[in-house]
Amino acid sequence: MLDEKTIETVKAALQDYAAAYSRCDAESVLALTAPEFMAFGSGSDEVCTDRDEYAKGLERDFIQCDDLVMEFDDIRVAGVGDAAWIAAGCTITPTFEGKSEPLRGRMTAVFRRDGERWLCTLTHFSLPCSEQEEGESSPSSE
């Protein structure tokens, strides 16, 4: 189990990630990721198996909007030793041509300790299925 100080340090690393993403600063986002980084996004083509693919995905994200904000809430952190995993609510709000459309989703992430820093090794952002009713285990087949 991670102690409270370590949990707060991991949460701060996640907030640094969100701040860099919100600045559309790909270099800073990538500096917070481990060399073995992988990711899944909400789009069917958003699969990154390394940092080079992620850099291209970030470029695509940033070029397709005029402004971008990533915010986390209800952040849960657990882990052991030099590994931590996170589950959180995540809202990504892109603005393009004066219009904003918040994407309210969920983010899971894995971080590993690298000396004094915590580096992100994996992220998965997903949007709840709009066809699935609350209390149901799958979308309606109707």
pLDDT at 138: 73
With 70 as the cut, is the pLDDT of residue 142 above it?
no
Confidence (pLDDT) at 134: 74
For residue 110, which of 80, 83, 141, 70 has the smallest C-alpha distance? 83
Looking at per-residue confidence, does 90 or 128 come out higher?
Answer: 90
Cβ(32)–Cβ(110) under 8 Å? Answer: no
pLDDT at 78 over 90: yes
pLDDT score at 89 = 97
Residue 38: predicted pLDDT: 97
The pLDDT of residue 141: 66
pLDDT, tens only, 95-135: 999 999 999 999 999 999 999 999 999 999 999 877 767 77
pLDDT at 87 over 80: yes
Does residue 59 have a pLDDT over 70? yes
pLDDT of res. 37: 97
Phi then psi for residue 115, to 5 deg, are 70, -120
Residue 64's SS3 state is coil
Q: What is the pLDDT of residue 132?
A: 62
